[in-house]
Chains A and B, each alone.
Chain A
Amino acid sequence: MFRIRFHGRGGQGIKTASQILGSAFFRSGFEVQDAPRYGAERRGAPIFAYVRADRSPIHERGVILRPDLVVVADESLVPIPAAGVLQGVTSNTLLLVNSPQTPELWQQRLKLGAPVLCLPVESEGEDRAGLPHIGATCAGAAARLVGVVARESLVQAVEDELAKLGADELEFNLDHALAAFDAFSRHAGRVQEGAAIEAGGYARPEWIDLEPDAALFAAPDVEGAATSEGAKTGLWRTLRPVIDYERCNRCSWICSTLCPDGAIRVEADHTPRVDYDHCKGCMVCVAVCPPHAIAAVSEAGARAEESPA
């Protein structure tokens, strides 16, 4: 059975990528499951989708924990534990990363012994959430790497899934899917098909017996205030707002009031501070600051500077 997981951000067409690959397998005579998984279906938020394909009926259910191929549309997700990109990756798993870095560098960084390939990145904008074709590119590359999908089946699959978007969109996505399919001809069949997993092979859940508590103790957050702050929506960000304190004139907190998320706090001396754990990177503050004191910088670049590997 083939088990493939796609990782990306809301808006990159990750769900569509899994649908295209699923249909391409189906058109090639396979039994198929494909399913997206997301917390909030929001632009920029980490999401993943997965595909199972086999020649006989599939009885496995749920999220793929032992993938044969992991496709990463946005390299900035790899080091984020909450995105779960590396979950279940072993030396038998092929990793395909959309990245300007070399595969060798990724192998050194990850130290997993897993083979790595990189998608040739074309002139990419600053904002990774705005890569409309990356889903189709990922699907095309994955279809070639599994080695059992014919070019014609991929064409049909893209048409199955995207014809509803109109001729222009279809052609645009088809071009990108086929370009990726062709670019990986040298690596056709690199994915090692995983063995069937027996029920006995699953780790047993570790049960802990607990006496039922009163709701106040068992579910204390029912009475908690502003517990949403536990969700680190800073992970959604592909661009980072950076305040130039030389230029900021401590105006009447325009950025802080207009930030949709209330992610800018103003200190007693009127200095605004961005809460990077929660700022989603919408760039509203950048657009509204009267003296243009806030700059939009690439999040991946900013993070790399903070912690040089």
Chain B
Amino acid sequence: MSAETRFGRMKDLPSTHLLGTGTAMCAGCGGLEALHEIYDVLGARSVFVNAAGCMTLLSVYPFTPFRGSWLYTSMASAPAGAQGVRDALDLLLARGALPPEEDLQVVTLTGDGAAYGMGLSATSSAIERGLDFLYICYDNEGYGNTGQQTSAATPHGARTATAVGGHVGWKKDLFAIWCAHRPAYAATVIGAEPLDLARKIEKAMKLKGPRLILALAPCPTGWGYEPRDTVEVGRLAVKSGVFPLKEYEDGRVTHTKPPHPRAPVKDYLRLQGRFAHLFEPKRDEATIAEIQAAVDRYWEGAG
């Protein structure tokens, strides 16, 4: 890791937290874990544009965990909302009505349902326009707020409310879709790896233009595991190679924590109720092998 980071070791991470407690997220929410770690680094000089999803419940008047403004948009249009906020700030700056030191980071915060599906068109055009914004997607691999239906981020084999026998499709590669747009920055993070996360937020904040932070968000409610296991599930997602931690910068993708050796994917799957049907009553070796093969293929390609 480069010498430019102020996060050399765990002790460099913030020991007090900026995001307010008392939110309506589930106990053990992996998305909230990532968000509070991100917010600690990002700071209060930010404005959040939030599409419908679990995290809409963060700010229900008169309660908000944020220290700055928050705007709610429909599921498909958070990047468009961010454009409006950015434009308004730029106008104020140009008119001298807002001193430059009071400028704000414009942050889009959405679930995977919005980021991978409904909001993808608005995202694509915002990146195309070079919008200066940070897009945080907390990816719980389904429509969590409405009862964990299948989304474009649901992994192969996972049971959801709309795929009772296990999802037959494969998770869309949103990171690659962003990279194909040549954004200023894109990174994957997870709350269970807070140092890696802090360094990436630090880096993203120094850049301008469209930037993606894609956080895998272990979800006890939707994934079917005990809330206490959120960090264990997250660490195994990384160790098994299912969720590669990486970043895109200047046209290049770098893996920031490649797992050596990789844990078998079954260790990750087995912890979660949504994959229980792959193990009980009869082991579905074929599906487990298919998932393992897809992960192996990814890492062979990653070289």
Contacts and interface: CB of A to CB of B under 8 A. Distances in A.
Contact of B16 (A251, A266, A270, A286): A266
Interface string A215-234: 00001011011111111110
Q: Which of A224, A251, A262 has the most CB of B within 10 A?
A: A262
A278 B33 CA distance: 15
Contacts of A275: 21
Interface string A256-281: 11111111011000100001011011
Give chain A's interface residue range (CB within 8 Å of chain B).
35 or more
A55 to B, nearest CB: 35
A188 B220 CA distance: 40
Given A43-B227, A236-B27, A254-B10, A228 B22 contact: yes
Contact of B11 (A44, A225, A252, A282): A252
Give chain B's interface residue range (CB within 8 Å of chain A).
35 or more
B33 A258 contact: yes
Interface stretch (B62-70, B76-84, B111-119, B179-187): B62-70
A22 to B, nearest CB: 21
A282 B228 contact: yes
A146 to B, nearest CB: 31
A42 B32 CA distance: 14
Nearest to B23: A228
Given A225-B67, A226-B66, A252-B13, A284 B21 contact: no
B291 to A, nearest CB: 24
A288 interface: yes
A114 B9 CA distance: 60
B24 A280 contact: no
Interface in B2-24: 9-11, 13, 15-24
Interface string B206-229: 000000000000001100001111
Contact of B27 (A43, A227, A230, A266): A43
Contacts of A282: 27-28, 220, 227-228, 230
Nearest to B37: A257
Contact of B231 (A229, A263, A287): A287
A270 B10 CA distance: 13
Given A228-B22, A253-B13, A262 B36 contact: yes
A65 B172 CA distance: 50
A39 interface: yes
B289 interface: no
B27 A226 contact: no
B276 interface: no
A89 interface: no
Contacts of B71: none
B145 to A, nearest CB: 9
Contacts of B28: 260, 280, 282-284
B231 A258 contact: yes
A68 B221 CA distance: 34
A195 interface: no
Nearest to A262: B17
Contact of B228 (A39, A44, A237, A284): A284
B55 interface: no
Interface string B69-113: 000000000000000000000000000000000000000000000
Interface in A178-228: 219, 221-222, 224-228
A227 B64 contact: yes
B191 to A, nearest CB: 7
A40 interface: yes
B256 to A, nearest CB: 18
A227 B33 CA distance: 19
B267 interface: no
Interface string B20-50: 1111111111101100110000001000000
B228 A40 contact: no
B237 interface: no
Contact of B10 (A236, A257, A278): A257
Contacts of A224: 62, 64
Contacts of B231: 258, 284, 287-288
A260 B10 contact: no
B227 A261 contact: no
Nearest to B164: A166
Given A43-B227, A228-B23, A253 B63 contact: no
Interface in B222-263: 226-232
B273 interface: no
Nearest to B31: A260
Nearest to A278: B21
A95 to B, nearest CB: 28
27 contacts: A39-B24, A42-B24, A42-B221, A43-B27, A43-B221, A45-B24, A221-B62, A226-B65, A226-B66, A228-B22, A228-B63, A230-B62, A231-B23, A231-B24, A233-B24, A236-B27, A251-B10, A252-B9, A252-B13, A257-B194, A258-B231, A261-B21, A262-B17, A278-B21, A282-B227, A284-B228, A286-B228
Q: Across chains A and B, which 9 residue pairs bring their CB atoms closest together, nearest first?
A: A226-B20, A40-B24, A252-B10, A282-B28, A278-B21, A283-B228, A262-B17, A221-B62, A280-B27
